[in-house]
């Protein structure tokens, strides 16, 4: 064998030593990702409900950076050298995949909403099909505090450009919802002479108010109009709510709590905002309601008892107690995890389905560990039948389960505001030409 031939043989052998294991690993990774995608499809969680990564396959080089930087985990994967959306329901819009893609092959948005009946049609300035009514925040389909703040600021700027103060209405601008989007809208308008009021069915904070105590909220640095920049990447719920209260006090924002929106009417050149505590006229209306709506009740005997609650504000108030958490979403799991951390609590989760389908990865991992350590008891395919003074009655298949109980937390979703919006005249999906 000549020296040249030997060199070629050795070179090929060395290449094969590295290439064959690489190809095997690549094939295994593809198979695992494909399996995760099939599992997501079978559970119905592959489709995104709100914003999600939109991949340009002609640009994607399959480097996998988008997969690694996603803080939610398993939203994206790589199959056959191209990025794919695996679990669109987990995307909350951090946009780290977009920011870190070396070839600019990812956008984060809503995609085609032409047939969506849960995404209102909005113009570029966030105005609905009804001139003068704007929609901002989660209600428009985009999650994340940063998005909500930026949208609210944009609407405030649009109102400045297109509207002048009037004396024939109660308020120039009524902002319904005192979460990040609503607060940002009101702040953007404080340097004007417009008469602006914030209405909310609860207290300031919006969706943030529903989080368990001390839950950390991840944001990217974002600037609140006429307040300053929220520079930290994480804020506790308490820190954010303290900021909201400080803003209302220092900036002298008009705020009315416990005003639940019941309708919006149009009368000539102004709007009539109807609430459970009276009606107000306005020149412009900004709907920053969120998507949770009014908490959905179980409709079972005993649900009116004081021990039944629909949100968890302070886990430290509950110790050495028997607690039932009803629901299978992130809010229910986060509440159960928080309650488990308190001394002596015995926590059970009742969920009507056979598994948890849409949990964030971190919540799933923490829950799995607590169940394994027997610190949380999960009863799948169960329903609450009755809530008594010191116990709850569940049914699972044909069996009756009786649990000792001190408190019940119900996280069964909310009565979403979409029917109300449709009554107002807001159109969803694509407005016909």
Cα 302 from Cα 244, distance rounded (Å): 36
Predicted pLDDT of residue 18: 66
- The confidence band for 310, taking pLDDT boundaries of 50, 70 and 90, is confident
Average pLDDT, the chain: 85
Predicted pLDDT of residue 433: 41
* 259-284 average pLDDT score: 94
Only one residue has tokens 């809530």, namely 387
* 147-174 average pLDDT score: 95
Superfamily (CATH) of domain 301-413: FAD/NAD(P)-binding domain (3.50.50.60)
Per residue in 331-367, pLDDT tens?
Answer: 899 999 999 999 999 999 999 999 988 788 788 999 9
Predicted pLDDT of residue 16: 65
Residue 432 has pLDDT above 50, yes or no: no
Buried b (16+ CB within 10 A) or exposed e, 313-339: eebeebeebbbbbbbbbbbbbbbbbbb
Superfamily (CATH) of domain 133-293+416-424: FAD/NAD(P)-binding domain (3.50.50.60)
3-109 with 301-413: one CATH topology?
no
Higher pLDDT, 326 or 305: 326
Q: Does domain 3-109 correspond to CATH entry 3.30.360.10?
A: no
Percent of all residues in the chain with a pLDDT value above 90, rounded to a whole number: 41
Predicted pLDDT of residue 404: 97
- The confidence band for 10, taking pLDDT boundaries of 50, 70 and 90, is confident
Cα 186 from Cα 188, distance rounded (Å): 5
Higher pLDDT, 210 or 288: 288
Q: Are 281 and 270 in contact (CB under 8 A)?
A: yes
- The confidence band for 206, taking pLDDT boundaries of 50, 70 and 90, is low
Per residue in 87-128, pLDDT tens?
Answer: 877 777 778 888 899 999 898 877 666 667 778 989 999 999
CA 143 from centroid of its chain's CA atoms? 5
Higher pLDDT, 244 or 115: 244
Domain borders along the chain are 3-109, 133-293+416-424, 301-413
Predicted pLDDT of residue 378: 97
Residue 214 has pLDDT above 60, yes or no: no
Residue 215 has pLDDT above 70, yes or no: no
């Amino acid at each position: 064998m000549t020296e040249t031939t030997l060199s070629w043989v050795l070179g090929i052998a060395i290449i094969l030593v590295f290439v064959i294991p690489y190809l095997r690993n690549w094939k295994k990774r593809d198979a695992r990702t494909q399996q995760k995608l099939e599992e997501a499809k079978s559970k119905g969680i592959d489709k995104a409900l709100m914003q999600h990564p939109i991949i340009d396959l002609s640009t994607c080089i399959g480097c996998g950076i988008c997969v690694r930087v996603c803080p939610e985990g398993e939203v994206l994967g790589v199959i056959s050298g191209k990025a794919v959306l695996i679990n669109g329901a987990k995307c909350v819009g951090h946009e780290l995949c977009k920011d870190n893609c070396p070839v600019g092959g990812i956008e984060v948005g809503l995609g085609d909403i032409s047939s969506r009946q849960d995404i209102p049609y909005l113009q570029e300035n966030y105005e609905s099909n009804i001139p003068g009514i704007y929609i901002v925040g989660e209600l428009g389909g985009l999650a994340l505090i940063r998005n909500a703040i930026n949208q609210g600021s944009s609407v405030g700027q649009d109102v400045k450009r297109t509207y002048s103060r009037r004396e024939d209405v109660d308020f120039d601008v009524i902002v319904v919802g005192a979460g990040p989007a609503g607060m940002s809208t009101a702040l953007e308008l404080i340097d004007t002479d417009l008469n602006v009021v914030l209405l909310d069915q609860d207290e300031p904070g919006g969706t943030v108010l529903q989080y368990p105590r001390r839950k950390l909220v991840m944001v990217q640095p974002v600037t609140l109009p006429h307040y300053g920049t929220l520079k930290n990447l994480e804020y506790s719920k308490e820190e954010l709510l303290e900021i909201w209260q400080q803003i209302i006090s220092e900036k002298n924002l008009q705020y009315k709590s416990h005003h639940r929106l019941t309708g919006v009417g149009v009368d000539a050149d102004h709007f009539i905002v109807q609430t459970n505590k009276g009606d107000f006229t306005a020149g412009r209306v900004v709907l920053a309601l969120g998507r949770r709506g009014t908490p959905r009740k179980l409709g079972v005997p005993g649900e009116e008892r004081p021990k039944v609650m629909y949100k968890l504000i302070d886990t430290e108030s509950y110790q050495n107690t028997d607690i039932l958490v009803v629901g299978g979403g992130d809010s229910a799991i986060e509440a159960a995890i928080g309650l488990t951390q308190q001394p002596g609590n015995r926590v059970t989760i009742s969920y009507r389905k056979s598994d948890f389908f849409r949990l964030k990865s971190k919540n799933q991992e923490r829950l799995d560990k607590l169940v394994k350590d027997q610190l949380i008891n999960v009863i799948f395919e169960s329903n609450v039948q009755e809530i008594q003074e010191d116990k709850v009655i569940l049914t699972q298949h044909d069996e009756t389960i009786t649990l000792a109980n001190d408190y019940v937390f119900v996280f069964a979703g909310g009565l979403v505001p979409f029917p109300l919006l449709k009554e107002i005249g807001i159109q969803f999906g694509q407005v016909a030409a």
